[in-house]
Each structure stands twice: as structure tokens, then as C-alpha cells.
Amino acid sequence: MSSRAGAAASSGNDVVAQARRRRSFAVISHPDAGKSTLTEALALHARVISEAGAVHGKAGRQGVVSDWMEMERARGISITSAALQFAYRDAVVNLLDTPGHADFSEDTYRVLSAVDSAVMLLDAAKGLEPQTLKLFDVCRHRGIPVITFINKWDRPGREALELCDELTERIGLAPMPLTWPVGEAGRFRGVLDVTDGSFVAFERTAGGATVAEETRLAADRAEAELGEDFSRAKEEWELVAASGGEFDLAAYLSGTATPVLFGSAVLNFGVRHLLDLLVDLAPRPEPRTDVDGNDRSLDDEFSAFVFKVQTGMDPAHRDQVAFARVCSGVFERGMVVTNATTKRPFATKYAHQVFGQQRSTVDVAYPGDVVGLVNASALRVGDTLYAGKPAVRFPGLPSFAPAHFAVARPADLSKAKQFRKGVEQLSSEGVVQLLTSETRGDAAPVFAAVGPMQFEVAAHRMEHEFNSPVKLDRLPYSTVRRLADPAQRALVDAGRNSEVLTRSDGTDLALFADDMSMRLLVRRHPELRLENLVATGG
């Protein structure tokens, strides 16, 4: 195991004990709520980085460790997920930072399939926003418990009680605050620790670059020194507690209630409370159910599933890394495993623990860990890897219903080989969905995307990673359905505003200019079998 993870490699007999040390969670939120800043602050508190920076780098410091793509640093947003692993106390933390922009929600959904819990980050001034609501629905669908961290309390914002009420009223999630802010948003003095009634004050550091030192005061002393601010915090918390807001572990694990913490990620206020809560209470890895409905025991032979494939994380190598969540058994570097999709062997000679863009070799990993498999051109998102017999296969990951379509052509015909390689790579990673048809031919594949920014990322990577600039011609389609009977393809292709394209997973998609075009075609051909695409399956 890497020194960063801090888990001593041992025999396979203690797999369950090692799994219980793992905490695997994702950070989810609306764009600009501070996910990447929180990710960095968590790493700072775990002592795996010595100094925090801003996305663009601040005062000469290195930029956010989880935002490694050039476009991310230029725009100041996360557009791809990132995996970080580090030790904290006696636990091994696998933290997955997710894209905040709605155009990349498909990547976030895949990440949520690889974690056991989530931290929902809310902006103190904005509360629950549309993308946050969608992501919470995914957590509810997958049975993922959620901890809520109300961020940016150092800036003006809404009332704490109002934000808690919103959790109940808008998503039916009972708030269970474990800290309560002392001082209104924008005048943050510290937090009331409701577990013992004490006050925790934070010493500000320059730009939040280092861990904020904490000073704890007993309730009576805090009352004397802080006066009305502390009294008001106590009264507000008591009001929430009287309304059923006292902590209930079973309610948290069942997904009916959420622990709530207040803080400021950019100033490292309240971040330690979040880390401690995750280590103490977040769920450990559990047996995963395979496609046949059987639970794969943690101490069974090795198995894992690939939830993300990424190329170009290291500009010096341009290799492909497949991120796999270990589900059972012990992973040992160099072992030969079987890809359940292709039935072919895969050698794991090059395996890394990933910390942002940094890597270190991993020799051993356990259930709950995320391993980066290098030179993984044979692996695709959703593949299951396993050792021994019998074979095991976990449910695949969903492909969303795309809403935007564009024909891709090489800007330079002499670079056709690079074009084909790049298109295949982007498809295998899930950057865009790849659609083809005999009519259009392989030289003019169609990129399909959930959001238009995916096209921008695809074009950027085609030019800078594969040296093949592309021309993207948008197609006028806005409605998509699955064609249930391939024999009916000609009915759709004959329409004036429709056509059928086949996705790389073999699914036939019927594309229409709009809902009216689809309804008119169905009226003319009532036998036509069209089905909705389900985004939350898998």
C-alpha cells in the first residue's frame, strides 16, 4: 500500500477488518458552492498537503489538487471527477470530488456508484440549488446517506434556521445539526458543538492557507465572553432539537435525516468536524450485489468495477487510467484478473493510488479503496474485474439521455488516424457518447452530450491531447428515445426530422427535432415502439 494511505499491507485474512477502516465518499453540490476548496481543506486537515491555494493558485501557492485539467484551472470550475486517498486518524479515506456543472452530471452519477456516503455542500447564501436537488435525488435512489455542510458562513448569507427548514420542506430530509454557527453569516465567530455545549473558536490564518487553530471554551465561559451571539446560537439549536433535530444514527444511515455542520472551507472553519464525523459515523463498505442478485462478500476473492476512465492526467505520459472501486478481496499489484465484459485477462502491473494529479504505486488495496489502473486501454466504464472462479459481474453504469448532438469531422484530413484514436478514447471515457450509422459512416461520427460544455471539453482534448482539431456541426435534434425494435429503423429514418443512430453500447437511439415531430411519426405508425431512456439505472 502507498505510504499516503497509511494502511500496512497484510495477509488476506484481515480483509473485513481492513474494509472497516475505509470511508469512501463523494462531495456533491451546485457549481461554485466550494467543492474543490472543501476537498483541498479536507486534505489539509489530514496533513497530506501543507498549504492550500485557490483554483488559480494564490500568493505563489500551488492550485487546487483535485482540479488538474488545464480547462478547470482556467475557468475555476471542476469539469471532471478526481480521486484522492489519504489517512486520517486510524481510517483510510477515499474522497471523490465531482464536477459541479450540470453538463457533467453523468460523470457525477458514475462517481456516486463508487461511494458509500456523500457530503452535500450548500452555499450559505443560496441554499438548495437545482443541481444539488438532482444530485440528492440520485443519492436517495441509490440509498447513499448524506452529510450536509453549509459552507461560506464567513460571507453574508441566509439564516441558519431558514436553511435547515429548507432541507425539510424541499427534499424531506430532517436536519440534525451537530454544530451551530455563532454569529450570523458574514460575521462568523465559531460554532456551538451541540454534543457537549461548548464553543469552538477558530483562529484565522492568512488566506486560509494553513489549518486554523481551534480554541474550545466551556459553555459558561463562552456565554460570558460572547454574550448575545452565543445565547442566540443556543436558543436556535434548542428550537431545532425540540422539533426532532437531535442526532439519530439510524435515521442518517437510512437516508431520512442528515447531520448538518456549518463552516467555511476557504478559511478551514469547521472542516475538522466534518472529517471526524465521516470517520466516526459514515458507513463502511458493505457486500455489493451482482447482476444475479447475489451479494459478493467482502472476504470473497478480489472483485472491482470500473467507474471512470481518464487519459492525459499526466501530460508527460498520456497514459490511460481506469479508476476501479474494490468491492471484495485483496487487490495485489501484478495480479492477473478477468474482465467480465470481454472475458479476457487483464494484468495489473501498473497500479497507482491517486492524489489529484500525483501518483504513487499501490501494492495492496482492500474493499472501499479506489485503485488507478494504468495503461488500461482494454477497460471501459462499467467493466467488472475479478479473480478466480466463479465469474462475477456487477450491474453496469447508466448512460444518460443525451440532449445535444454534433457531427465531428477532422479539421485536418491528414490526421485521420489521430482523429479515430481520439474519438474512440473520448467515447471509452464517457466524455461524450459516440453515435454512428451506416448512412453517416465512420468518418463522421456523432457526439452526443448531456450538456453543451461536453463538446467544448471534447474539442479541447482532441486538439491538445490527440493533435487532431475537430469541426463540430450541431444537429437540430432535441428529443431522443430508445428504438425498442431495430427492425423499425426505416420508419424513423424515413421521417423528415428524424433518424436512428447507434450508441457504442449497441443501443439504437431515435432522434427527433422536437416532441411534435415524434408524435406525428407515432401517429402515422402506431406500431412504432419507442421507450424513454432511464438515467438513474445501473
- At 295 the three-state DSSP class reads strand
Q: What are phi and psi of 335, to 5 degrees?
A: -65, 150
| Residue 482, CA atoms < 13 Å, CB-side half-sphere | 13
Please state, in angstroms and rounded to a whole number, the distance separating the CA atoms of residues 107 and 80: 7
Please state, in angstroms and rounded to a whole number, the distance separating the CA atoms of residues 41 and 50: 10
* Number of C-beta neighbours around residue 424 at 10 A: 15
- Encode burial over 510-536: b for 16+ CB neighbours within 10 A, e otherwise: bbbbeeebbebbbeeeeebebeebebe
Query: Cell numbers 457518447 label which residue?
Result: 433
The answer on whether 244 is annotated among ligand-binding residues is no
- Whether a cis peptide bond, with omega within 30° of 0, leads into 177 is no
Please state, in angstroms and rounded to a whole number, the distance separating the CA atoms of residues 493 and 501: 9
- Encode burial over 137-156: b for 16+ CB neighbours within 10 A, e otherwise: ebbbeeebbbbbbbbbbbee
Please state, in angstroms and rounded to a whole number, the distance separating the CA atoms of residues 15 and 94: 17
Contact indicator for 245, 90 with CB cutoff of 8 Å: no
C-alpha 208: how far from chain center: 25
Please state, in angstroms and rounded to a whole number, the distance separating the CA atoms of residues 20 and 406: 46
Assigned C-alpha cell, 180: 451551530
The answer on whether 98 is annotated among ligand-binding residues is yes
- From the list 72, 35, 135, 68, the residue with the least C-alpha distance to 457 is 72
Please state, in angstroms and rounded to a whole number, the distance separating the CA atoms of residues 465 and 419: 11
Query: Which CA distances in Å does 333 have to 49, 180, 185, 365, 407?
Result: 26, 45, 49, 9, 41
Query: Cell numbers 437510512 label which residue?
Result: 254
C-alpha 332: how far from chain center: 25
Q: With left for phi above 0 and alpha for psi between -120 and 50, is residue 487 left, alpha or beta?
A: alpha
R_g (Cα) of the chain, nearest Å = 24
Query: Which CA distances in Å does 337 have to 332, 345, 501?
Result: 10, 6, 34
The answer on whether 97 is annotated among ligand-binding residues is yes
| DSSP E strand boundaries for 387-518 | 404-410, 433-436, 446-449, 470-474, 479-483, 498-503, 508-512
Annotated binding site for GTP: 97-101
Residues making up the binding site: 97-101
